[in-house]
Amino acid sequence: MANTPQAKKRARQNERRAAVNKARRSRIRTFLRKVEEALEGGDKAVAAAALREAQPELMRGVTKGIMHKNTVARKISRLSARVKAIAA
């Protein structure tokens, strides 16, 4: 348990940051789920639009420190390949 005033303040700050990060992570997952659902639907235009909406959210997760940049790059790459493969 935090005893010093500084440690108590840091504990409060950590709780607030954890809540913000949780909300951001949830938002990113929602955008990814929309892309997955569009891919399952088989409509390339809808899937491409969903991916275009998801990309900025993913990159925002990188800048905010929620996700690693290589993880996001990998996810975008794999989703792009799946969207591209729909028409083929």
Contact in structure between 25 and 66 (CB atoms under 8 Å): yes
pLDDT tens digits, one per residue of 4-20: 999 999 999 999 999 99
> How open is the CA angle 53-59-65, to the nearest 5 degrees?
140
We find that the CATH architecture of domain 5-85 is: Up-down Bundle (1.20)
Report the C-alpha gap between 46 and 24 in whole angstroms: 23
What predicted TM-score, i.e. pTM, was given to this entire model?
0.86
Residue ranges of domains in the chain? 5-85
Q: What pLDDT, on a 0 to 100 scale, did the predictor assign at position 88?
A: 63
pLDDT tens digits, one per residue of 33-63: 999 999 999 999 999 999 999 999 999 999 9
DSSP 87: T
